[in-house]
Amino acid sequence: MVVPPEHLHWVKILVLHGPNLNLLGRREPGIYGSVTLNDINRLLEEEGQKLQAKVSTLQSNHEGVLVDAIHDAQANYQGIVINAGAYTHTSVAIRDAIAAVNLPTVEVHLSNIYRRESFRHHSFIAPVAIGQISGFGADSYRLGLQALVFHLKQLNSG
């Protein structure tokens, strides 16, 4: 692949969406709104242009696919934004993968998980993330991307 010279200093960010997020905008609009996953991915690509970040996105309903994507990210990306969906509250495997690759990772959620059922209050991801953004709908992703890129630029300017 030929990289245009103006993109040489861009950071590469992987955005991961976990289980059921492919249903966004089609079911339960009362909780998750009417925005689709495609809308969110487009919003992130546009925000990436402003931040000089090349954003790639992947959604999977399968824990192992997400674990493999995190492993593969090590060689190809500088950071990860992840909404692990329900795996947030269950997956030691995703947490271990994030800890193993040691890429700065921001956890995001559409809904405010602390205003919901108590089983959503615990995140296995939070202790291995640089931070968490929860409750701002699609803007949680935008804010998460901004926070990650600012974090990476700070690391590279020191």
Site string for ligand CA2, 6-45 (x = CB under 6 A): --------------xx-xx--xx---x-------------
Of the candidate spans 73-81, 95-103, 109-117, 148-156, the one that interacts with ligand CA2 by CB under 6 A turns out to be 109-117
**Comparison of 54 and 111: residue with beta carbon closer to ligand CA2:** 111
Q: Kindly state the smallest distance separating residue 68's Cβ from ligand CA2, in Å.
A: 20
- In this structure, the number of other CB atoms found within 10 A of the CB of residue 2 comes to 5
The one segment of 38-46, 63-71, 93-101, 104-112 that binds ligand CA2 by CB under 6 A: 104-112
Q: Are 119 and 139 in contact (CB under 8 A)?
A: no
Contact between 131 and 107 under an 8 Å Cβ cutoff? The reply is yes
Query: Cβ distance 98 to 70 under 8 Å?
Result: yes
Structure-token pair, residue 38: 């495609």
Interface residue with ligand CA2, options 46, 50, 72, 86 (CB under 6 A): 86
Nearest approach, Cβ of 150 to ligand CA2 (angstroms)? 22
Q: Is 32 a catalytic residue?
A: yes
The DSSP string of 79-120 is: EEEEE-GGGGGT-HHHHHHHHHHT--EEEEESS-GGGS-GGG
Q: How far is the CB of 18 from ligand CA2 (least distance, A)?
A: 7
Cα-based angle 145, 22, 95 (whole degrees, multiple of 5): 55
Instruction: Determine which residue in the list 95, 105, 109, 148 makes contact with ligand CA2, applying CB under 6 A.
Output: 109
What are φ and ψ of residue 55, in 5° steps?
-105, 125
Residues at the interface with ligand CA2 (CB under 6 A): 20-21, 23-24, 27-28, 32, 83, 85-86, 88, 109-111, 113, 120
Give the residue numbers annotated as catalytic, written as ranges. 32, 109
